[in-house]
Amino acid sequence: MTEDIDGGVETAAPIWAAFGDLMSVLLGAFVLILVGVIGVQLELSSKLEQEVKQRQAETQRRKTLEQALAGPLAAGRVTLVNGRIGISGNVLFALNSAQLQPEGRALLKSLAGPLSAYLRASDQILMVSGFTDDQRLREGNRRFADNWELSAQRALTVTRTLIDEGVPASSAFAAAFGSGQPVSSNADEPGRAKNRRVEIAPVPRPSSAAPAEKPGA
């Protein structure tokens, strides 16, 4: 009788030991999973916090720019839509001309300082874009072959003026769109006047170009 009892005890001992080992393994796996989940949550939380800070900084930069543009905006000389500053061509240039009018030069001079500060804070650059209506140039206008050339020269004129007034040359470039991007109908003069414009838009600074290969490489 005693031998039967002793034999039962000896048989059960390894089972409990194995069960204990299994629980230890499961507990260890659970702890690893928990640590992994906590790590992922912390990483996501950190990324979310950074994104929120970036958006808040961008919002503050835009507010600062809007405050600097408050006067011209109230006077109707410029528009501000989705971060793009639009200036009526009538304010900047006479019809079919790329020579700045005094009012246009004074306006660009007032914008150069706030734009420079905005660029320094955001590490962006300015794209200065020229646009025209769809009307052919006046007869006898030999300076510009078509609206492409006119819009290009107007964009260059505005870009150079901003640089002359303090915007870093490395932080601005000109682009020409001709009559291809109207914001209003070209069927009447009020619509065409809206299409004759220059837009100034902060855009991301392009990444540095790859280093040039050595001669003979």
**What is 68-108 written as a DSSP string?**
HTHHHHHHTSEEEETTEEEEEHHHHB-TT--SBPHHHHHHH
Distance CA 130, CA 200 (A): 9
What integer pLDDT is reported at residue 74 of this predicted model?
Answer: 85
The CA angle 59-109-190, to the nearest 5 degrees, is: 80
The HSE-up count of residue 23 (CA atoms within 13 Å, CB side) is 6
178-217 confidence digits (pLDDT tens): 998 999 999 999 999 999 999 999 998 887 544 444 444 4
Helix, coil or strand: residue 138:
coil
What integer pLDDT is reported at residue 210 of this predicted model?
Answer: 43
The CA angle 180-145-202, to the nearest 5 degrees, is: 45
What integer pLDDT is reported at residue 95 of this predicted model?
Answer: 87
Crossing angle of helices 102-122 and 2-68, rounded to 10°: 160
What integer pLDDT is reported at residue 186 of this predicted model?
Answer: 92
What integer pLDDT is reported at residue 211 of this predicted model?
Answer: 43
Per the document, the length of the chain is: 217
Distance CA 74, CA 88 (A): 14
Task: Count the neighbouring beta carbons within 10 Å of the beta carbon of residue 42.
Answer: 10
pTM of the model: 0.68
What integer pLDDT is reported at residue 149 of this predicted model?
Answer: 94
What integer pLDDT is reported at residue 4 of this predicted model?
Answer: 54
Residue ranges, the chain, pLDDT below 50: 209-217
What integer pLDDT is reported at residue 14 of this predicted model?
Answer: 65
Crossing angle of helices 147-164 and 102-122, rounded to 10°: 70
Contact 194, 109 (CB under 8 A): no
The HSE-up count of residue 201 (CA atoms within 13 Å, CB side) is 15
Sign of CA dihedral 132, 136, 142, 146: positive
What integer pLDDT is reported at residue 208 of this predicted model?
Answer: 59
What integer pLDDT is reported at residue 214 of this predicted model?
Answer: 47
Longest dimension (CA), the chain: 127
Q: Cα 43 to the chain's mean position, in Å?
A: 25
What integer pLDDT is reported at residue 132 of this predicted model?
Answer: 94
